[in-house]
Amino acid sequence: IAAHYDLGNTLYTHFLDESMMYSSAIYPDVNASLADAQFHKLHTICKKLRLTADDHLIEIGTGWGGLAVHAAKHFGCKVTTTTISEEQFAYANEWVKREGLEDQITLLKKDYRLLEGTYTKLVSIEMIEAVGKPYLNQFFNKCASLLIPDGLMLLQSITIDDRRYDSYHKGVDFIQKHIFPGGFLPSQLVLNQHIKQASDLSIRDMQDIGLDYARTLRDWFNAFVAAKEKLAVHGYDERFARMWEYYLKYCEGGFLERSISTVQLVLSKPRYVDELTR
C-alpha cells in the first residue's frame, strides 16, 4: 500500500482538492464543487459518528490528515490516527502543526494491528481495500477491540458487486497489477460475513455512495489533465500520465455501471444506545 501513496505528495496535491481526501466525496447538490463535496463528506462522517468534544477518535489510515484535522477543528474531539506511508505521515505532521492542533491530534506511523488502548469512536476511510482477503477477520476483530463497550465505528469501503466477487478474487485486474498492488475489494455480503464472524459489532446504517464516486473521479480526472504540464516538470512523464488517466476513467466507468460501488457503514458495540432508545 505504501508504494501507491509514496509516489510523492506533489502528484496528489495537483489533482486532489485542499482537503487532500483521496476517497469518494459526497455531493450535496448538482452544482457542488469537489471541495464542497469533500467538506460535506467529512462533515457527514463526523455527524454519523456523533462526535463531540468528549470523544477520542481512532483513525485507521490517516491519508494526508484531512479527516483528523476536520474532526478536531469542527467537533473539538481528540484524534489518534495511524498510517504506514512515510509521505502521508510527513504531510499530515506539517498540516497538524500549521493548524496548531498538536494537543488534539496524535499522529502514528504504525501498522493498525499494533494499535493499543480503547477509544470512544473509530473511523476508517477506504483503507480496508489494502487489508487483503485473508486478513478481513483480523481487521474487524482489531477494530472491535479498540472501542469501548458502547463505542461507534464508521467504515467507508469500495465494494465489488456480490455477483462478480468470486471471479474477481480469482484473477488480477488492471488496478491490482498497475495501480494498487495487493489491493482487494470486498463485496457487501463479504463485509457482513466478516463483521459477524470476527467481532461483536452490529451494522446500524448503510449508505451507498457509488455514483458520488463516479463524479469524484471525473473531477479528479479534469484536475489531473489540467495539471499535466506541471506534473511533467516534476518527472511524471507521458507514459505515467496516460496510465493515470486510464486508471481514473476505468474506475469512473466501474462505478457508473455499478460493478463496483462504495458504502459507508455505521457499526456499534453491543452497549451502544442512541437518543431514541436511551
How do residues 188-246 score in pLDDT, each as one tens digit?
A: 999 999 999 999 999 999 999 999 999 999 999 999 999 999 998 888 889 989 999 99
Cβ neighbours of 48 (radius 10 Å): 18
Q: Residue 192 has what pLDDT?
A: 97
**pLDDT tens-digit readout, 172-185:** 666 666 566 667 89
Strands, E assignment, 109-201 = 119-125, 147-160
Q: Which of 41, 36, 91 is nearest to 63 (CA)?
A: 91
User: Which pLDDT score is estimated for 177?
Assistant: 64
Residue-level pLDDT at 10: 86
Query: Which structural domains are found in the chain, ordered by start?
Result: 2-267 (3.40.50.150)
**What cell numbers appear for 228 in the block?**
499535466
User: Is residue 173 packed enough to be buried (19+ CB in 10 Å), middle (13-18) or exposed (0-12)?
Assistant: middle
Q: Is 251 a catalytic residue?
A: yes
**Beta partners for residue 159, in sequence order:** 261
Distances (CA, A) of 52 to 22, 35, 47, 110: 25, 24, 9, 26
**Three-state secondary-structure class, residue 89:** helix
Q: Over the chain (278 residues), what is each successive 10-residue block's mean pLDDT?
A: 58 94 97 98 98 99 98 99 95 98 98 98 97 95 98 97 79 63 85 98 97 98 95 88 92 94 98 72
DSSP state of 2: H
Rg (CA), the chain: 18
At residue 105, φ and ψ (nearest 5 deg) are: -115, 125
Q: For residues 255 and 213, is the Cβ–Cβ distance under 8 A? A: yes
Is residue 100 within 8 A of residue 132, CB to CB? The reply is no
Instruction: Report the SS3 class of residue 57.
Output: strand
Q: Is residue 179 within 8 Å of 149, Cβ to Cβ?
A: no
> What pLDDT, on a 0 to 100 scale, did the predictor assign at position 9?
84
